Structure 1
Amino acid sequence: MSQKNFVDVHETPAVSKLLPLSIQHLFAMFGATVLVPILTGLDPATALFTSGVGTLLFLLITKGKLPNYLGSSFAFIGPIITVSQAYGVGTALLGCLLSGLVYVIVAAIVQKAGVKWLDRVLPPVVIASVIVVIGLSLSVVAVDMATKVTVDGQSVMSLTSIEISLVTMIVTVLAAVMLRGFFALIPILIGIIAGYLYTLMRHPELIDLNKVATAEIISAPDFKLKEVAFALGDPSAWVAALIIAPVAFVTLAEHLGHLLVTSRVMDRDLMKDPGLHRSLLGDGVATALAGLIGGPPATTYGENIGVLAITRVFSRTVIALAAVLAILFSFCGKISELLMTIPTPVLGGVSIILFGIIAAQGLRMYVESKVDFSNKRNMIIAAAILVTGIGGYKISFEGVSFWQSFLHNLTIDNIAFSTFLGIVLHLILPGKESAMGEAHREEQKHIA
């Protein structure tokens, strides 16, 4: 009988372990979550608040069976900036609220139609390839964070950044591989702390603690309820908000991919229990709430899924405490500012590991499903998904008469496009059974 090597969703680690495990998740998502509001002109503290509340709602709606943390979605950056500049921030946030309602509507459809059809359109060769894409398409972001700095608006290579990120990455890897017991469960936290201390000793000019010293101990997030309420009563604002709402169809594919990755990490079918409809509903409610009070739309986070894969601690209590900490920190100016001082190369160093772990989960699925790559059909489908996904292929809709105002700055990202392409190729090419893998055939023979 094999020994259990994970902490399940319903289990709660000891109090002494709970806090470090939760802080690790908070650190993993922090950099990307606050970057979105910084780029879009929203309030980082509000983004922390909405990510925490959104995560708690997500856990509640998914019955505590899906330990995902929700952070700020990058897909909405362009549309939010465009609409905010042209129509005001209230209209942009109304669009975010409407995008959350799109999720809710799709969740209702999925609940009615079921998920059996997904087994037909998403065989292992497609799912595994999409999972690899989700990990490796983020590699550019991780490497840029780890190796570059911004000088006069230009991103340039920095030996200092490379030095810091390498130290962080090496410490993270050694902690994950060499340490035992509880410390083996917090390699990301150990790596970030080590990278931060190393930067303080070797390159203190990169960490500005003055803002921490001058920040208020207690400070409320900048909620935008009045601006959104005004937009709700303005018919013209509704029309403009529809520019953002369709972005939800792009992030739906990302959500599906993250759910597939989490299923592989946890070795269970989360599509059926708690169900895709519940995860979509949770994400939609979190996104709608964020739009209502002034935060960027929410999404499940690759960084935190990477933490799950490394630690194999799936406890919903750990995720819930991380969410509570995010809420508390959003009201504490000094802690928020302190977290903002974490150097980008430090976050880049751990992100390289986290995103690579996600890609490795896809490779694992190829192996476990026994996908036959001597079959040309499988090879072509995987090749198309990997190249269009990792290559960063994007389709932008701009400047087309009547549709210009609706489609301007709407981009179908590489993950969504490669997923769609893989599904189409699987559906139109003959020999669909080969895409299921040899493991599926053996299982069917055993059942028969």
Structure 2
Amino acid sequence: MENREIVMDVHDKPKLAKWLTLSLQHLFAMFGATILVPFLTDMSQAVALVSSGLGTLAYLLITRGQIPAYLGSSFAFITPITIVSATDGLAGVMVGSFLAGLVYGVVALLIKVLGLNWLMRILPPIVVGPIIIVIGLGLASTAVGMAMNDPDGNYSTIHFVVALVTLSITILASIFFKGFFGIIPILFGIVGGYIFAMTQGVVNTSDLSASWNELVNSGSIGGFFAAFFQMPEFIIPFADFNPLEVFNWGIFWALVPVALVTIAEHTGDQMVLSKVVGRNFIKKPGLHRSIAGDGIATMIASVLGGPPNTTYGENIGVVAITRVFSVFVIGGAAVLAIFFGFSSIIVAAIESIPTPVMGGVSILLFGIIASSGLRMLVDNQVDLGDKRNLIISSVILVIGIGGAYIQITPNFQIAGMGLAAIVGVFLNLVLPGKESGYGNGSMFETPEEVVEKASK
């Protein structure tokens, strides 16, 4: 990482105008991805924004205001959420997400007591890399279906053209835009695709127009605020449903194993952020605190009806480019996200985004996720010529992408990514020659050693 001068340190507080501008940058960086997850899982995008903001504020509090990281909706949980939602509804998703958050807490406690090496033993690159590939490629058919089909599920040339234009804009923004603008290609793709979709008549703006007319005709300041703000569709446990009646082991096995993958991703994010900022966040405030903060953020989302949260690489990119490390800027972005979630006209604008636009950006985004799993194997120099590594990666990929499942009872199955993660961890622990699974790259060392080197 290029060692440039720090613009603002972790605890520096900017003046109000600059504070707002810098926080908006982080909001834009996370916005496209954060609203895409609830879009794909039929969850409330307004609740996702609010839970993202609240989760980030909780994370900053738990990490003692020492780590400038933003948390948004996690893509790793999309497929498990879809599976659970089909059988147990959104209530089942919330219960499973809460349990996944508890796993973060257990892992944080174990790291505090036992250190980090045990985590690296069960989640080496040969396990984590293929599972990340499964996350991306497992969603490929969803992205293509959104891009090609009309609301009735039939092939539509117009919709596919809108998706391809959106994809093209996103690619061009990724390749040719520099600095901060290069960090938000998804946002450019959504905005550009939305404008093109309007020219093709595939945007339904009735709700947006109604919200706008209500604002214009509010007649008073009080009326304006009443029209501008709306309560998101929160779903509260024990008020709207009884979690104890909803829980079953199928929910547990569909969602909880995914937490192991996102914890490994979280550890990688902390290593990168430590290198960017030049401080060892894994030692201070400690990986146990950051993982606990991530888990609390996911639990907050689950009790509101939002998708699980995770630290966002997009926002780490913003930190790296701007050299603004201030947690006050991150906190400001969180407050703005909450504000957006309560805004009727902003929510109406988000909900009017047509499916092919989201399908277009999803084609690239899900491919990038899969490629990042491949990159993990390459960066860590994992030898796939080694029979052990080839077996583990092959089994994980086919089980995960193929959608294999074990039916325990009529209402209890271990499926897809969760099963792939369990099988991958098991094979890694029982097959001889564990050292080869770490490769010859950075993850072969302990996280403390990696960050210690990166921080010098």
TM-score by length of 1: 0.76
Match of 2:207 in 1: 211
Unaligned runs of 5+ in 2: 212-226, 447-456
Structure 2 CA distance, aligned partners of 1:360 and 1:240?
36
> Does the alignment pair 1:338 with 2:338?
no
Match of 1:140 in 2: 141
Q: Is the 8 A contact 1:57 1:285 kept in 2?
A: yes
CA distances 1:15-38 after superposition (whole Å, capped 9, x unpaired): 6565244223112211322554x4
Runs of 4+ in 1 over 6 A off after TM superposition: 5-9, 11-14, 269-273, 440-444
Note closer, same or farther for the CA distance 1:79–1:26 as it changes in structure 2 (3 Å cut).
Answer: same
Q: Is the 8 A contact 1:212 1:334 kept in 2?
A: yes
RMSD: 4.0
> Does the alignment pair 1:228 with 2:238?
yes
Structure 1 CA distance, aligned partners of 2:115 and 2:47?
35
CA distances 1:221-258 after superposition (whole Å, capped 9, x unpaired): 24455x625867xxxx6354456566552332342253
> Does the alignment pair 1:434 with 2:430?
no
| SS of the residue 1:207 aligns to | coil
Unaligned runs of 5+ in 1: 400-407
Structure 1 CA distance, aligned partners of 2:330 and 2:24?
10
Match of 1:295 in 2: 305
> Post-superposition shift, 1:439?
4.2
Q: Is the 8 A contact 1:395 1:413 kept in 2?
A: yes
Identify which of 249, 261, 266 aligns with 1:259.
Answer: 266
Match of 2:183 in 1: 185
Note closer, same or farther for the CA distance 1:320–1:123 as it changes in structure 2 (3 Å cut).
Answer: same
| SS of the residue 1:417 aligns to | helix
Note closer, same or farther for the CA distance 1:349–1:321 as it changes in structure 2 (3 Å cut).
Answer: farther
Taking the TM superposition and a 5 Å limit, the aligned residue runs for 1:68-147 are 68-71=70-73, 73-74=77-78, 75-76=80-81, 79=84, 100-101=101-102, 103-147=104-148
> Post-superposition shift, 1:320?
4.1
CA distances 1:184-230 after superposition (whole Å, capped 9, x unpaired): 333222222111111112x12x21222112233221224455x6258
> Does the alignment pair 1:32 with 2:37?
yes
> Post-superposition shift, 1:333?
0.9
> Post-superposition shift, 1:385?
1.9
Matched AA of 1:145: M
| SS of the residue 1:57 aligns to | helix
CA distances 1:346-403 after superposition (whole Å, capped 9, x unpaired): 222222222222332233332332222222222222222222223333344433xxxx
Structure 1 CA distance, aligned partners of 2:96 and 2:391?
38
Identify which of 397, 401, 405 aligns with 1:390.
Answer: 401
Matched AA of 1:26: F
Q: Is the 8 A contact 1:265 1:361 kept in 2?
A: no
Deviates more, 1:273-282 or 1:134-143: 273-282
Q: Is the 8 A contact 1:102 1:248 kept in 2?
A: no
What is the aligned length?
414
Q: Is the 8 A contact 1:286 1:297 kept in 2?
A: no
Q: Is the 8 A contact 1:52 1:326 kept in 2?
A: yes
Matched AA of 2:405: K
| SS of the residue 1:156 aligns to | coil
Deviates more, 1:61-70 or 1:425-434: 61-70
Match of 1:250 in 2: 257
**Percent same amino acid among aligned pairs?**
35
> Does the alignment pair 1:164 with 2:162?
yes
Q: Is the 8 A contact 2:35 2:48 kept in 1?
A: no
Q: Is the 8 A contact 1:132 1:359 kept in 2?
A: yes
